[in-house]
Chain A
């Protein structure tokens, strides 16, 4: 086996999937938000909802496009870089991915055209149906891909036959032990992420004095969402952690920073882990708390990393730190949600500058939390690619290190350009805001009366 190919393939997969997940996470929440806006518009005929729809649908289109193109590469990397995984585990993973394509990708793609371009060609009811189907597609996609990922974390429902995995009970494969928790945790994360972005954009415009009724409404909707979902997410996250403790205790030991097996294990708030000497420095901990939330007993036993052979332990620094970042983000979200809800009840949310500043700063926290969370769960699964069954080192393709370094270099260059431009255009669109009706957002210099597609166009750069 080519060690270089293995390491570079791992880096390539990590980079492409981390940059990919940003956009699906955002568009899962945003498509649901758009469906709510359009439903509200159809119900109340309040033009503010349509204005918000028109504003966010353009941001959705860019984000969705980035999600699609960065996603196509994923379905090929299973084969190009991880062919041994595909050959052995394909009988389980293949059908799950096929279902994702059949029930989700086509649904999204089939209705996206009508959603983005078809409002004049179909009635309002059909257009709403298109928005709804796109939103549904994003959730179904999450269902299948998280089923596949969760099966790799907590495999179930399969048998071994002639050196490969054979599915024995599809229900057990799909609803494997960690799937329900991961599904709910990720869906809530997507909704939180979107709500934080919407709140941040609204707050930015209120701070700049370019806020109006539409901006205030989207702030209220986003804050309401965060206030409800942030505490719920903390509860779900705790349940997910308990589930992980049951099925992947070594991952929890790494997250918690526990080296020794203890009864009445402490919750370590902060420490500098010292893996060389298998201990922590500068530890700040609350006694017995980890036992309490992991085992629901004051003196419950929590196994430490030393209870597992070194070759079966994950590189503990990654899950340890990523877990703390994720939890920290979650707590800030809770503050944004509850403080915002309190201000909204008082009727001062649109003028409380400290809150608005916090809300702007908290805008990207959903993305930070999602990537941290995935680092916890994916690095925490190592050295296994399918937990307890197949090691990552045994999964890599027989490709040369030179090939992978060539592709990784290209990936880095392409993603830098594409993501650089994408983030730039997205921020320009955030900066314009929904305050003006679309006609007034036309580019000034270039738009002749017959210029195609300029009806609701904005020039996001100064025209030459």
Chain B
């Protein structure tokens, strides 16, 4: 069990991070899209499309942090201070966008302040997440152990995450809105898609070029045959997105979700079995067995319930956004 338990736990950690990216990514993207949409009614609709679920989405960010702490305290203690400033900036940006959900509908003349807080907070939070991602992957380059989150590569990753989330947000709005707003999102999404995919491709090529370990992981025989489905599936999803983005309701959102998932999978393949790239493995940093056991029992007992009522909540608010009298604002 000493060997298997950290593997199970890194799976839980990866699931939490993936769910965060899938659920809060579009949510931040909707905020960033405030920069493109200026009409007040459209902005109301955009905010209302995520208002019932944003809190649950953001909870996965907390889940990611506490699962890392519970499962791999040594890695948590190493990674968190290394990204001190981008993490702090991200958290403060999330405060701005979070309160905007409440304050915007309470404000009169000062509404524009909370519109900017929502858009700016979302943008900064997404960019900071990209900086952390870039610094984290950047540490994989051979000989680099510094977590430089202000390197050109990290800044590039920051921009890539912003575009990716914005694309996901646009696809969410295609699914959730009607009329002119939906039409504009359908027109915007292909452009975002081109930029986002170029960025994804660039990062995917950068990592093997800068790390012989990662290059061997992907290109040595038989791995190249075993792992080929990952890029192939990604290409198919891109095709799926391209063919549906102008017409379908749900498919674009699902296609982007699938691309994000495959991107995470690819990252996992590159880094396995390290939790801090090429320095600390999951076994080196795992919490003692009594801690892992206790946490695992909690995951087994409660995670299915969490997923069930989260799905139920999305189901209750399914379909295009309706202006309910039942909304409390």
In the complex, whether A122 has a CB less than 8 A from a CB of chain B is yes
Q: Which residues of A contact B89 (CB under 8 A)?
A: 410
Q: Mark A334-370, 1 if CB is under 8 A from B, else 0.
A: 0000000000000000000000000000000000000
Nearest CB of chain A from residue B275's CB, rounded to whole Å: 13
**What separation, in Å, do the CA atoms of A97 and B295 have in the docked complex?**
10
In the complex, whether B189 has a CB less than 8 A from a CB of chain A is no
Q: Which residues of B contact A54 (CB under 8 A)?
A: 328
Question: DSSP majority for the A interface?
Answer: helix
From the candidates A81, A411, A428, name the one contacting B106 in the complex (CB within 8 A). Answer: A428
Pairwise interchain contact B309-A111, C-beta atoms closer than 8 A: yes
**What separation, in Å, do the CA atoms of A93 and B295 have in the docked complex?**
11
Nearest CB of chain A from residue B206's CB, rounded to whole Å: 27
Nearest CB of chain A from residue B312's CB, rounded to whole Å: 8
**What separation, in Å, do the CA atoms of A80 and B77 have in the docked complex?**
8
Nearest CB of chain A from residue B186's CB, rounded to whole Å: 22
**What separation, in Å, do the CA atoms of A428 and B108 have in the docked complex?**
12
**What separation, in Å, do the CA atoms of A281 and B105 have in the docked complex?**
54
Task: Kindly identify, within residues 400 to 433 of chain A, every residue whose CB is under 8 Å from any CB belonging to chain B.
Answer: 403-404, 406-407, 410-411, 414, 418, 421-422, 425, 428-429
Nearest CB of chain A from residue B65's CB, rounded to whole Å: 5
From the candidates B77, B91, B326, B328, name the one contacting A72 in the complex (CB within 8 A). Answer: B91
Pairwise interchain contact A102-B303, C-beta atoms closer than 8 A: yes
Q: Which residues of B contact A58 (CB under 8 A)?
A: 328-329
Q: Mark B269-291, 1 if CB is under 8 A from A, else 0.
A: 00000000000000000011011
Task: Kindly identify, within residues 60 to 115 of chain B, every residue whose CB is under 8 Å from any CB belonging to chain A.
Answer: 61-63, 65-71, 73-74, 76-81, 83-85, 87-89, 91-92, 94-96, 98-99, 101-103, 105-110
Residues A453 and B62 in contact in the complex (CB < 8 Å), given A62-B102, A122-B316: no
Q: Which residues of B contact A403 (CB under 8 A)?
A: 84-85
Question: DSSP majority for the B interface?
Answer: helix
Q: Mark B308-329, 1 if CB is under 8 A from A, else 0.
A: 0110110011000001111111
In the complex, whether B45 has a CB less than 8 A from a CB of chain A is yes
**What separation, in Å, do the CA atoms of A107 and B310 have in the docked complex?**
9
Closest to B289 in A: A166
**What separation, in Å, do the CA atoms of A12 and B59 have in the docked complex?**
22
Nearest CB of chain B from residue A195's CB, rounded to whole Å: 22
Task: Kindly identify, within residues 310 to 333 of chain A, every residue whose CB is under 8 Å from any CB belonging to chain B.
Answer: none
20 A–B contact pairs at CB < 8 A? A71-B62, A72-B94, A76-B80, A79-B80, A79-B81, A80-B88, A90-B287, A109-B59, A117-B327, A121-B326, A166-B291, A167-B294, A399-B81, A411-B92, A414-B92, A446-B108, A453-B44, A455-B323, A462-B108, A464-B109
Q: Which residues of B contact A (CB under 8 A)?
A: 41, 44-45, 48, 51-53, 55-56, 58-59, 61-63, 65-71, 73-74, 76-81, 83-85, 87-89, 91-92, 94-96, 98-99, 101-103, 105-110, 287-288, 290-291, 294-295, 298-299, 302-303, 306, 309-310, 312-313, 316-317, 323-329
Q: Which residues of A contact B (CB under 8 A)?
A: 54, 57-58, 61-62, 65-66, 68-73, 75-76, 78-81, 83-84, 86-87, 90-95, 97-103, 105-114, 116-122, 161, 164, 166-168, 170, 397-399, 403-404, 406-407, 410-411, 414, 418, 421-422, 425, 428-429, 443, 446, 450-464
